[in-house]
Structure 1
Amino acid sequence: MKYFDTKNSRLVFLESKSSAGFWDNHWKTEKLKADIERGKDDQFVSRITKKFLPLGSKILEGGCGKGAFVYSLKISGYDAYGIDYAKETIKEINEVMPDLNISLGNVEGLDFSDNFFDGYWSLGVIEHFFDGYDKITKEMTRVIKPGGYLFITFPYISPLRRIKAKLGKYPKFQEKELAMENFYQFALSHKKTSGDFEKLGFSIVYKKPFDGIKGLKDEISQVKPILQRIYDSKNIFIMIFQGLLSRALSPFTSHSILLVFKKND
């Protein structure tokens, strides 16, 4: 269920509580190694990283999940690190892929020295913290070198969601009346988030909305059945069509956005 938080211009998703145990269960699989190695097919993280950082750069993925993108960065030629707080998932990764530099950690308190990384990837992390992302951004700022890059994605208030909010299509968020133990994530204002990072000494250098099909199917129930079939299909021709359609829809309906920031010298 989605609610609109007028005060903070964001959507509140109440589903299953986002916790370490939730993610351990969500990522549990008997094919973990194969899932990680699918990172070799990554056409997103490694491609974007190469636009801004030379090979050999030291990069952290904070909240790395099963580690597929850490693997992708490593085989692309980067000195890749990953941390996550899902204890059982990290334990299993270390067993099946011991050469990956992935460890148990907390994005609100990183176990790395100041100015340690050239880059930091945060893929769908900051939106899961109900009390806000200030502790996370403080740590990002601390560990990224001056002149380094932050790559961050999160669900956002797309033009479609903004129109729905103005038309009153979402129930109003009343914190005291809702069970916060079911809080899953926010869809955030990318302008506010950009402003928060600029106050910390970052400059935005790139932005890209993405996942246009998901953003449309999850907001317009009438088209969800057919779009869900397209979204889930593994047919190569439908997947090509899916990519083209998603890009065409992205400026208006995207579920998420990528922001790239450079830390000021």
Structure 2
Amino acid sequence: MKYFDTKNSRLVFLESKSSAGFWDNHWKTEKLKADIERGKDDQFVSRITKKFLPLGSKILEGGCGKGAFVYSLKISGYDAYGIDYAKETIKEINEVMPDLNISLGNVEGLDFSDNFFDGYWSLGVIEHFFDGYDKITKEMTRVIKPGGYLFITFPYISPLRRIKAKLGKYPKFQEKELAMENFYQFALSHKKTSGDFEKLGFSIVYKKPFDGIKGLKDEISQVKPILQRIYDSKNIFIMIFQGLLSRALYPFTSHSILLVFKKND
């Protein structure tokens, strides 16, 4: 269920609570090594990183999940690190892929020295913290070197969602009336989020909305059945069509956005 938080210009998703235990269950698999090695097919994280950082750069993925993108960065030639607070998942990663530099950690209190990383990836993390992301952003600022880069993605208020909010299509969010044990994530205002990072000494250098099909199917129930089949299909021809359709839709309906910031010298 989605609610609109008028005060903070964001959507509130109430589903299952986003906890370490939730993510351990979500990521549980008997084919963990194979899932990690699918990172070799990554056409997103490694490609974007290469636009801004030379090979050999030291990069952290904060909230790395199963570690596929850490693996992708490593085989692309980066000195890649990953941390996550899902204890059982990290334990299993360390057992099946001991050569990956992935450890148990908390994005609100990183166990790295100041100015340690050239880059930091945050893929769908900050939206899961109901009390806000200030602690996370302070740690990002601390560990990224001056001149280094922050790559961050999160669900955002797309033009479609903005129109729905203005038309009153979402129930109003009333914090005191809702059980926060069901809080899953926010869809955030990318302008407000950009402003928050600029106040911390970052400059935005790149932005790109993405996942246009998901953003449409999850917001317009009438088209969800057909779009869900397209979204889930592994047929090569349908996947090509999926890519073309998502590209056409992304300016208006994208579920998430990528922001890239450079830390000021």
- Scaled by the length of structure 2, what TM-score is found? 1.00
Deviation at 1:96, TM superposition (A): 0.1
Between the aligned partners of 1:208 and 1:79, the Cα distance in structure 2 is: 25
Residue in 2 aligned with 1:191?
A: 191
Between the aligned partners of 2:171 and 2:47, the Cα distance in structure 1 is: 39
Between the aligned partners of 2:93 and 2:243, the Cα distance in structure 1 is: 30
% identical aligned pairs:
100
CA displacement 1:35-93 (0-9 Å, x = unmatched): 00000000000000000000000000000000000000000000000000000000000
Between the aligned partners of 2:18 and 2:196, the Cα distance in structure 1 is: 23
CA displacement 1:119-160 (0-9 Å, x = unmatched): 000000000000000000000000000000000000000000
CA displacement 1:214-257 (0-9 Å, x = unmatched): 00000000000000000000000000110110011000000000
Between the aligned partners of 1:105 and 1:241, the Cα distance in structure 2 is: 39
Between the aligned partners of 1:208 and 1:244, the Cα distance in structure 2 is: 16
Between the aligned partners of 2:251 and 2:82, the Cα distance in structure 1 is: 31
Deviation at 1:33, TM superposition (A): 0.1
Residue in 1 aligned with 2:143?
A: 143
Deviation at 1:99, TM superposition (A): 0.1
Between the aligned partners of 2:4 and 2:114, the Cα distance in structure 1 is: 37
CA RMSD of aligned residues (A): 0.2
Match of 1:98, SS? Answer: coil
Between the aligned partners of 1:177 and 1:116, the Cα distance in structure 2 is: 43
Residue in 2 aligned with 1:68?
A: 68
TM superposition outliers: structure 1 runs of 4+ over 2 Å: none
Q: How many positions carry a matched residue from both structures?
A: 265
Question: Any unmatched runs of 5+ in structure 1?
Answer: none
Deviation at 1:30, TM superposition (A): 0.1
Mapping for residues 84-163 of structure 1, pairs under 5 Å: 84-163=84-163
Question: Any unmatched runs of 5+ in structure 2?
Answer: none
Between the aligned partners of 2:241 and 2:110, the Cα distance in structure 1 is: 41
